[in-house]
Chain A
Amino acid sequence: MRISLSLVDYAVIFIYFAFVIGVGWALKRSMKGSTDFLTAGRSLPAWITGLAFISANLGAQEVIGMAASGAKYGIMTSHFYWIGAIPAMVFLGLFMLPFYYGSKARSVPEYLKLRFDEKTRGFNAVSFAVMTVFSSGISMHALASLLRLLLGWQYDACIAVSAGIVLLYILLGGLSSAIYNEVLQFCLIVAGFAPLAYLALKDVGGWSALQAKLIPVATRHGYAPGTWTESWSHLGSANANPMGVEWFGLAMGLGFVASFGYWCTDFLVVQRALAANSLSAARRTPLIAAVPKMLFPALLIVPGMIAVALPAVAGHAFLPLAADGTPDYNMSIPALLARYFPAGLLGIGLTALIASFMSGMAGNVTAFNTVWTYDLYQSYIAPGRSDRHYLRMGQAATVFGVLLGVAAAYLAAAFNNIMDLLQLVFAFVNAPVFATFLLGMFWKRTTGHGAFFGLLAGTLSAALFHGLSLPASAVPGIKGGWVTPEFVFRSEMGQNFYIAIVAWTTCFVLTVLVSLATPRNKTDAELHGLVYSLTPRVASEAGEPWYKRPVLVGVIVLLATILLNILFR
């Protein structure tokens, strides 16, 4: 599939490049110290950090992947946005940010150092830093492969231009520049994908016509007629839906362990909230982000569903075929862009795609340079230097972070298996982490040894359970079952959810046991502001207007999500 661009489309793309660099340029003057560069000087209003929060998560894999899942699984994909994000975002805003923000920690690993000890911080900081480098590499690789396929652009040129622009605007304006551009990118993603969703839905004849057209898709795969358009009705058994999961695995694995583990502890997103100008603004950051998050299925998942509902054109299915002969679901968005967008709007649509890749990559780079500078360099390599020294190191980390990302992109291009393996290892490291934070924040008896060995055991148990389990269609190896395929799951997703549940439970139980067996390493005074029972309650915000009261906004967001789930049950 090829898309040809006109002059006006190129103009749109170049104007975008000029603006993102311009934003960095305009912020250059305010980069005076390392905190300006790496933490945005804690000076941004809630609407900016809130939109950046959601934008940093809207990376490459997200936009392409969610549309692909919409095509593959239907509206059930929305669980990744509803149960798999909103409750955790509300929990972060209401219960966790008072400790993150109030402790003055500059990063999530630094919070672990304050709350527990050095080894727990080190474990988290090193694994996180490695992960961000590879994520930005995978993001770049995905963008360059897609542009090469769609537009016939050169792979190397795509990597060089996307890496170069992100590097330039972060180097100029630091985290503020990344955050400002994420808001710009968010607006562009909406501006590019909203007309696409509208045209596609209009063409297919509206929501009820789409429901009717997806009935044969469901029955052809052997499922009940409404499977593609009902999100809860087919979760009774893993055999009844294309995701191959049942409600317990979904609610616990995705809704609790994976979701809270990502949204509440991943520094990539938490960093946006920490850049807010007050505790109240920090708490409202994920709540503001939750509003677009709950509506994004309309922009990303519904177009994917339409892509499988559209009739074949001249004997060819609407979606192009992948190498193995099945429809290439990852092409849902590009195929719709090519079908509906005339020159002009096509430029906006492609810019939206490029913007989503850049925001995801910039999020990784800014999280990496902060963790490297504060948690690794300042803590272990060169403590006690001047702030100017750390500012220079932050800038240098931005450069080598991007360069390492480029190297990772070429690694991904050359050895697909290495990337699969790495992502697996990251999943093992991430799975248990929320148990550590939960116990750390709400149980003052949790000790440093408890946290560290709980995390370690959780990670190892994830790897072990992976070795004991296997998706039904796979052979033992990278997909699992390398010890013995004791537990067979209907799908890889179902397997992943249970790996997360096992890792979390192991970490939780072991952290409690080891903590009870070891003496406390922090006094009550040291834990002031870090643990729930030892922190004064947030002052009442009764005098503020309703939209500035986090608890009220949080409740509204949750109610709206429940309503959406009922509407699309």
Chain B
Amino acid sequence: MSFDLRIAIGGLFTVYGTLLSLYGLLGDKSQYSRSLGLNVNLLWGMVLLAFGLCMLLIRRRVRKS
């Protein structure tokens, strides 16, 4: 197969993670009362970003070997 799925998963979650983290940092913070006071955009955004970057990293390592 000419196309590695890990690029798509890694790409999508890197974009989502970045977007959510930035929005969590810069956006309206008053709305986090509904999420029990947690800045879930920043927290979950960083989890998604880490997952996305992991996928891209695995892809790079597989390609090198």
Contacts and interface: CB of A to CB of B under 8 A. Distances in A.
Given A12-B19, A15-B16, A199 B35 contact: yes
Contacts of B1: 27, 30, 41, 43-44, 176
Interface string B38-65: 1011001100100000000000000000
A195 B41 CA distance: 10
A328 to B, nearest CB: 21
Interface residues of A, number: 35
Contacts of A23: 3, 5, 8
B2 A345 contact: no
B20 A348 contact: yes
A545 B17 CA distance: 34
B27 A8 contact: yes
Interface in A426-464: none
B41 A344 contact: yes
A339 B34 CA distance: 7
Contact of B15 (A15, A183, A199, A345): A15
Contacts, number: 89
Interface string B8-25: 110111011001100110
Contacts of A183: 5, 9
B40 A8 contact: no
B8 to A, nearest CB: 5
A342 interface: yes
A344 B24 contact: yes
Contacts of A340: 34-36
Instruction: Tell which of A43, A180, A202 has the most Cβ of chain B within 10 Å.
Output: A180
A8 B19 contact: yes
Contact of A342 (B13, B15, B19, B32): B32
B41 to A, nearest CB: 4
A26 interface: yes
Contacts of A348: 16, 20, 44
Interface residues of B, number: 28
Nearest to B28: A343
Contacts of A12: 16, 19
Contacts of B24: 344
Given A191-B13, A199-B40, A342-B32, A22 B8 contact: yes
B12 A184 contact: yes
B28 to A, nearest CB: 8
Nearest to A8: B23
Nearest to A179: B5
Given A19-B12, A195-B40, A199-B40, A342 B31 contact: yes
A30 B35 CA distance: 45
B21 to A, nearest CB: 10
A16 interface: yes
Closest 4 CB pairs of A and B: A344-B41, A342-B31, A26-B3, A344-B23
Given A11-B19, A30-B2, A187-B12, 17 more contacts: A8-B23, A15-B19, A19-B12, A26-B2, A27-B3, A43-B1, A48-B5, A184-B12, A191-B44, A195-B40, A339-B34, A341-B35, A342-B40, A344-B41, A345-B20, A348-B20, A348-B44
